[in-house]
Amino acid sequence: MLRKIIHIDMDAFFAAVEQRDFPELRGKCIAVGGNEQRGVIATASYEARKYGVGSAMSSVIAKRRCPQLIFVKPRFDVYKEVSTQIREIFLEYTDLVEPLSLDEAFLDVTVNHKNIEIATDIANEIKQKIKERTNLTASAGVSFNKFLAKIASDYNKPNGLYVITPKMSENFIEQLPIKKFHGIGKVTAERMQMMGIHTGAELKMIELEKLRREFGKSGQYYYNIARGLDFREVNPTRIRKSSGSENTFIEDLETITEMESALNQLMEDVWNWSLKTNIYGRTITVKIKYNDFTVSTKSKSASFVIKDKKMYNEICYDLLNDGYSTLKPVRLLGVSISNLDNEQIFGKQLEIPFKDLY
């Protein structure tokens, strides 16, 4: 029972929105998030990526690699608005949409609202509509499961479209470098390379029991994807597990008063998200990162959903005071809520025979 799965991934999403809205940033090396002194980059423009600047990179390292790099403060409200526009386009074709983040999602178009047989045609239409309505570009991957669709979307970026059919999948996977496998991170890829596993073909040669011994439960997943097997459904009921906000400060905080003041804005960000979504949590966590990069986290859970703002504030401040047990300066604070009360019932995914039409 094969399916027609599309993975849509926006191109350098945050940076692209900034360059769209501010013409003076177009064609320039920009990074969203962080600053010249500290912090972590959320994403970088393609101009900056040519210098080796990437997501989750220290801003200090990024600036060293690209001296002309321009740091831009994130505007998450704008990114969320654009993300909503894009998701509305997805829903024109199918209700089976599984967002992974603001800028990417899986779609199951085996059966779709427009009765279009060829999944590639749908992907092209979606890309065109995204460009028309948002003036942004997206890359698309089309295949018969989520693993391959995800890899395909990254194969021809930016503004690309790549298709992996059942007939070509075996050869494609065998030649694929391990570091390109979705679900195999950098550390695991390095470990596999130490074992002599550099390509999909070499991974396919490893017996299941050995993979289980070396990688635990993940061994089964690695065994399957080496054979192009991925049985995960596109899940529109994917439930968010937490929501949080954190900030790396330009200057270290050295007093508890400074920390409480800084924490207040983060608390408001998280609380406002709960108000907007009507989703509240049972667990509150406060994260403290010191200037030597050690981290302290404190959490408190209730047997009920915390909807009282005063109680929420008191718990946050108590956790901060409990967690801060050293005289070391603080470079980052964070607040998050989890054990969210957001369970909903959605429609069941259909089991539909697959036609080899891409």
Question: What DSSP character marks residue 233?
Answer: P
Residue 182 · residue 151 · CB < 8 Å: yes
Q: Which two tokens stand for residue 281?
A: 């949590």
- The Cα–Cα gap between 139 and 11 comes to 7
Examine residue 353 and say whether the peptide bond preceding it is cis (omega within 30 degrees of 0).
no
Q: Which residue among 18, 98, 104, 233 is the active-site one?
A: 104
- The Cα–Cα gap between 184 and 285 comes to 29
Is 104 a known active-site residue?
A: yes
- For residues 185, 178, 8, 163, the Cα torsion angle rounded to the nearest 10 degrees is -170
- The Cα–Cα gap between 127 and 138 comes to 6
- The Cα–Cα gap between 215 and 225 comes to 14
DSSP letters, 280-343, are -EEEEEEEEEETTS-EEEEEEE-SS----HHHHHHHHHHHHHHH--SSS-EEEEEEEEEEE---
- The Cα–Cα gap between 217 and 335 comes to 31
The residue behind tokens 């894009």 is 86
Give me the helices (H) in the chain, please. Answer: 13-21, 46-49, 59-65, 76-91, 119-134, 146-153, 166-175, 186-194, 200-204, 208-215, 218-225, 256-277, 309-323
The residue behind tokens 């999948």 is 169
| Residues annotated as part of the active site | 104
